[in-house]
Amino acid sequence: LLDMVWYTESMHAGIPVIILDRHRLQEREKPGLELAVVSVPSYACQRHTPLLHHNTTLTDALSILAENAELSENEGRGVAFRRAAALLKSLPQEVRGAEQLRGLPCLGEHSLRVIKEVLEDGVSHEVETTTHSEQFKAMKALTGIFGVGAKTADRWFREGIHTPSDLQRSGHTLNRAQRAGLQYYDELNLPVTKSEAVAIGQIVERAVHAVLPGAEIILIGGFRRGKQTGHDVDFLITHPDEGREEGLMPKVVSWLEAQGFLLYQKTTRNSYLESKEGPARPASNMDRFERCFSIFRLSTDNEGREIQTGREIQTGDDPQTYSPTLTNTDPHTHSDTHPHSKTDSHPLPQTLVFPKPQTSDFPRLPQTPDHAQKVSWVLGHSQCSGPRSWRAVRVDLVVSPYSQFAFALLGWTGSKLFERELRRWAVHEKAMTLSSHALYDRKRTQYLRASSEEEIFAHLGLEYIPPCDRNA
């Protein structure tokens, strides 16, 4: 049978999952053979999804349709395309014909139609139409501005604004995030490399240890999953003595600002409170931690390598850019307060945890991230004459209490779809509520504690999936 096995998944609910290639079975004319189990787990959090996979042509097509649906605020449709793409990413071989997909979950009618078209004609008409559509191009360009979401972009598009340059000319009043987004548009749409992420990690480590020795800093998000580039760099910060992390963010931000490392920042307070009746439904999955959305100024030497020095704040810079803010509201809104904290200085060497580099012998790399392909809009004030010695990089910092650390780590490693699927699994299959803070068992009406990601997977009755296989 072995040469006919097309797909094997270690275990699903205790059953070995094997997919046999029906085609080859028929070719070999073995009528007596019975197909064993033909099933692939339907939740992405039950599957291993590596970064490099065999079906990039198909997943690229589905991702464009997903993005278009998300930009049109059709979340359900977007998720359906993302689920279909994630299924294809988890397959161990290239799909050559639609008949190979029979019986697989997550493939809706619409996705299957697109897949079939790409397999047969090399392209999908709908994908082609979408990528050439003026609205899609404009929405991508406008939401590519830091601080601009689909709703705002859509409003501007209807007013005839299609590009960041149009927006700049329009005279619209922009909030602080959007102004920074426009100012650093080109750079923020360049992928951040792994080595830039590492260089920023060293700066963040210096800042955190200067104000809280013994704190732990972990690179999260896409880089923890083994990605070599990202649209930003995400860090999770905690301290083994619970309570020591309280109020940490304003101190870190002050240190970074004093050293000239920040071009923009906005900090939100931790608003998470455990209640006896279980977690209330949060306004968003991500908004209850002490969190800082920032734009770093990463120095580079003449060859473009990252170096770690900051710079003195220069007169003439927008003073607002350098005022620390702490609010409890939407990170992309405008209200600023000034909660400056005193900075202590206790330099102490600590370990920074970075993911192992991902190795693979796959023949084709996945397509460059969308943001790398964005058109470079010429914005007067972001242009520079001659080589510049620094670049702007989006950095997200999150502080978590130690007791919530495993949940924060799991929730912030991603991918977004993997996280969504974990939460869906928890609710529908286990009657539990999972967030980046806690896991609540609704049947036993109690919180389930965990000090590692492995324990959370165990509570959820799931096989442990390592970060490099969460690229759904």
Extract the annotated binding site for Mg(2+).
Answer: 232, 234, 396
Minimum distance from residue 305 beta carbon to ligand DCT (Å)? 21
**From candidates 205, 232, 245, 290, binder to Mg ion by CB under 5 A:** 232
| Residue 232 sits in the site that holds ligand DCT (CB under 6 A) | yes
Q: Residue 50 CA to chain centroid, in angstroms?
A: 15
- Give the CA dihedral 125, 128, 129, 131, nearest 10 degrees: 160
Residue numbers in the known binding site are 232, 234, 396
Q: In 3D, which of 401, 32, 458, 3 has the Cα closest to residue 241? A: 401
Task: Determine whether 287 is an active site residue.
Answer: no
Backbone angles phi, psi at 58, to 5 degrees: -70, -45
- Residues 197 and 233: beta-carbon distance below 8 Å: yes
Given 102, 155, 416, 428, the residue binding ligand DCT (CB under 6 A): 416
When asked if residue 181 is in the footprint of ligand DCT (CB under 6 A), the reply is no
- Residue 227 partner contact from Mg ion, ligand DCT, none using kind-dependent CB cut-offs of 5 to 8 Å: ligand DCT
The one catalytic residue among 154, 166, 186, 234: 234
* Nearest-approach distance from CB 413 to Mg ion, in angstroms: 10
Is 121 among the catalytic positions?
no
227 binds ligand DCT per the rule CB under 6 A = yes
- Asked whether position 166 contacts ligand DCT by CB under 6 A, the answer is no
Q: Which of 228, 285, 323, 389 binds ligand DCT (CB under 6 A)?
A: 285
Q: What are phi and psi of 40, to 5 degrees?
A: -120, 140
| Active-site residue, from 330, 361, 396, 441 | 396
Burial class (CB in 10 A: 0-12, 13-18, 19+), 432: buried
Using Cβ positions, the residue closest to Mg ion within the complex turns out to be: 221
Rounded Cα distance, 232 and 188, in Å: 8
Look up 234 and say whether it is catalytic: yes
Which range, of 91-99, 229-237, 252-260, 317-325, touches ligand DCT by CB under 6 A? 229-237
Question: Does residue 234 belong to the site contacting Mg ion (CB under 5 A)?
Answer: yes
- State the minimum distance, in angstroms, from the CB of residue 288 to ligand DCT: 13
Positive/negative CA dihedral, 424, 429, 431, 432: negative
Residue 350, binding choice from ligand DCT, Mg ion, none, Cβ under 5 to 8 Å by partner class: none
The only residue of 147, 181, 221, 324 in contact with Mg ion, by rule CB under 5 A: 221
Residue 415 found at the interface with ligand DCT (CB under 6 A): yes
Structure tokens at 103: 């019986």
Q: Which run of H or of E encompasses 205?
A: helix 194-211
Q: Name which of 230 and 355 has its Cβ closer to Mg ion.
A: 230
Q: From the CB of residue 15, how many other CB atoms can be counted at a distance below 10 Å?
A: 11
Q: Does 147 bind Mg ion (CB under 5 A)?
A: no
What are the C-alpha distances in Å from 436 to residues 204, 207, 269, 422, 456?
Answer: 22, 24, 15, 11, 11
Interactions with ligand DCT, residue window 426-465 (CB under 6 A): none
Residue whose C-alpha is closest to residue 333's, from 399, 286, 266, 272: 266
- Which of 154, 232, 301, 317 is labelled catalytic? 232
Residue 412 near ligand DCT by CB under 6 A: yes
Beta strands per DSSP E along 311-434: 326-327, 352-353, 390-399, 432-434
Q: Is residue 138 a contact partner of residue 166, using CB atoms and an 8 Å limit? A: no
User: Catalytic amino acids?
Assistant: 232, 234, 396
Residues that bind ligand DCT (CB under 6 A): 221-222, 227, 230-232, 234, 285-286, 412, 414-416, 419
